[in-house]
Chain A
Amino acid sequence: MERRTRSFFPLAIFFGLFVLFLYGPIITIAILSFQGPQGGLTFPMNGWSTHWFADLFEQQAVGDIWGAFRRSLALGMMVMVVTVVVSVMSGLAFRKRFPGAGALFFLAVASLIIPSILVSLGVGLLFDQLGLRVHWASSGFGAQLTWTLPFGLLIMFAIFNRFDPAYEEAARDLGASPWQTVRHVVLPIIAPALIGVALFGFTLSYDEFARTLLAAGSYNTLPLEIYGMTTNVTTPVLYALGTLTTVFSLAIILSLLAVVWLMRRRAGRAG
């Protein structure tokens, strides 16, 4: 094995510091959420307790966070399913040549890089003028899709750029119809990567804030509720909520990554 260059160690230290920079703050609030009942927003720890977590379960203390959580969960699921289905369909579409493909791709990229506040404002205005009521499950849902679908589509491009068309040709040669080819050949091969699309769909929706703000109506999603709390809650209950929802996100991320890993391993064994 080649000897490590001199630059390895400084770079490794830099990388370590970067990871610390990424995770340090969130670990700090995780620790601080166990403050004693008299504890404040900063160190030192004033005893240890689960007081602030218990506080979360008392409805009147911090507004309707459980309602907000349920809405965010439902919305995240809806966005996830639609993102996976629409991304796969569009991914397949972009492998064929169809008129307007360039324009549609341009639109998808534009959707990704357009300032979120424009989507929020525009959807709010549109619904207002159409006489429709803004609601998290209609306008909020649509506004979030403008954020998750382009990510899904870009992942599909990445997947199909690495996809070997020989599998499809083989299926066609064996007499499979186009639908059978997709159903029995293409989908099983790309399935692990689709978990990635689902991960993007759910987590981006679950944490989405800017595009939902003016499009969610009178019932808040969880990020909107937390945003509201930052202006009037000055106790570690904010940290407790932050810790819980981060743990929830991490659980989702890790379980989906585990599924990908298992599928890959199974596919590896079968192949």
Chain B
Amino acid sequence: MTLARLPSAVTGWLLATPLALVLGFFLVLPILMIVTVSFWTATEWSYGPDFNLENYVFLLTSPVTLQVYIKTFTYVLLSWFFCLTIGFTVAFFLAFHVRSLVWQVALFLLCTIPFWTSNIIRMISWIPFLGRNGLANSTLIELGLIDAPLEWLLFSDFAVVLAFVHLYTLFMVVPIFNTMMRIDRSLIEAARDAGASGFQILTNVIIPLTKPGIMIGSIFVVTLVMGDFITVRFMSGGNSASVGRVISNEIALLQYPAAAASAVVLLITVLIIIAAMLRAVDIRREL
């Protein structure tokens, strides 16, 4: 028995080696490097080995840090809420109201295609809509709803959350749709036969059974928004700061040890959030 299993373990390892090497060199080592550098000292023009906690002390005592984290969590909560409500509704429609499989697949693909196109272009494409003379403002003025163009449409927190929802709702639709498609339809029939209304079926049968998908989508949206630095910079016009943006600014100023310390704190925050969410679901079972 053990003899028969040994070769299988060996071939298993050989086959997994390339993945392990790539992740080892481009994920594990870089993270260790960041942790190391976070204890180093920066001079005006360089940075070098040292062991001090100054970067952390500065980071954790700065009032800016708290503000930035509050801002980031606000983005995370709002984006998560809208991605979830929209994503769930779309997946619900596809899974339970579209009846032919061909149509389901076609409409599902229609929803996922933007995922394979450029995020930056998708952000840029909001300019003609939200700009001062954009479609939204001119329409509202024409309808007589406002007198002067709204300034908060583009380059604002509103625009940041809008862009997040635009970019990341797909990450909710896909896992939720996937979980919904595996729900045994006879359970719904049973609920209906037992006299449940459509709404009761939704809240008592479908939502509980869809939880794993909701959780996977939520992990994606939360981590993507937590670590983002481009969407916030671009859509806020440089006016808002999130954790990711602070790190990218420090990098731009060549303050690598400070950036590394901020990155470590961000990583720990994200890991705590995910650990809390992962307790609820085993990803491998859901694919």
A-to-B contact residues, CB < 8 Å: 4-5, 7-8, 11-12, 14-15, 18-19, 21-26, 28-29, 32, 41-43, 85-86, 89-90, 92-94, 96-101, 104-105, 107-111, 113-119, 121-126, 129, 142-143, 145-146, 149, 153-154, 157-158, 161, 178, 199-200, 203-204, 206-207, 209-210, 213-214, 223, 226-227, 230, 238-239, 242, 245-246, 249-250, 253, 257
CB-contact partner of A207 in B89, B119, B270, B283, under 8 A: B119
Q: Are B198 and A5 in contact (CB under 8 A)?
A: yes
- Please name all residues of chain A whose beta carbon is closer than 8 Å to the beta carbon of B248 when the two chains form the complex: 117, 213
Q: Are B120 and A19 in contact (CB under 8 A)?
A: no
- Please name all residues of chain B whose beta carbon is closer than 8 Å to the beta carbon of A85 when the two chains form the complex: 18
A207 to chain B, nearest CB (A): 4
Q: Are B266 and A119 in contact (CB under 8 A)?
A: no
Q: Are A245 and B107 in contact (CB under 8 A)?
A: no
- A26-B114, A89-B15 are known contacts. Are A43 and B135 too (CB-CB below 8 A)? yes
CB-contact partner of B19 in A42, A90, A206, A242, under 8 A: A90
Q: Are B121 and A115 in contact (CB under 8 A)?
A: no
CB-contact partner of A125 in B10, B37, B126, B133, under 8 A: B37
Interface stretch (choices B59-67, B140-148, B203-211, B227-235): B227-235
- Expressed in whole angstroms, the Cα–Cα distance for A213 and B127 within the complex equals 23
B-to-A contact residues, CB < 8 Å: 5, 8-16, 18-20, 22-23, 25-31, 33-34, 37, 86, 89-90, 92-94, 97, 107, 109-111, 113-114, 116-122, 124-129, 131, 133-135, 138, 166, 169, 198, 219-220, 223, 226-230, 234, 244, 247-248, 251, 256, 259-260, 263, 266-267, 270, 274, 283-284, 287
- Expressed in whole angstroms, the Cα–Cα distance for A98 and B166 within the complex equals 41
Q: Are A107 and B30 in contact (CB under 8 A)?
A: no
CB-contact partner of B12 in A97, A121, A123, A203, under 8 A: A97
Q: Are B219 and A245 in contact (CB under 8 A)?
A: no
- Expressed in whole angstroms, the Cα–Cα distance for A38 and B151 within the complex equals 25
Number of A-B contacts (CB under 8 A): 261
- Please name all residues of chain B whose beta carbon is closer than 8 Å to the beta carbon of A113 when the two chains form the complex: 219-220, 223, 270, 274
CB-contact partner of B97 in A7, A108, A145, under 8 A: A7
- A11-B92, A118-B263, A214-B251 are known contacts. Are A126 and B30 too (CB-CB below 8 A)? yes
Instruction: Select the residue from B11, B19, B89 with max chain A CB neighbours within 10 A.
Output: B19
- A89-B18, A117-B247 are known contacts. Are A125 and B11 too (CB-CB below 8 A)? no
Q: Are B16 and A122 in contact (CB under 8 A)?
A: no
CB-contact partner of A42 in B8, B37, B124, B133, under 8 A: B133
- Expressed in whole angstroms, the Cα–Cα distance for A96 and B127 within the complex equals 51
CB-contact partner of A210 in B19, B23, B229, under 8 A: B229
- Expressed in whole angstroms, the Cα–Cα distance for A54 and B263 within the complex equals 43
- A125-B30, A214-B251 are known contacts. Are A142 and B22 too (CB-CB below 8 A)? yes
User: Can you give 7 A-B contacts (C-beta < 8 A)?
Assistant: A11-B89, A12-B97, A26-B117, A94-B12, A121-B259, A149-B23, A226-B118
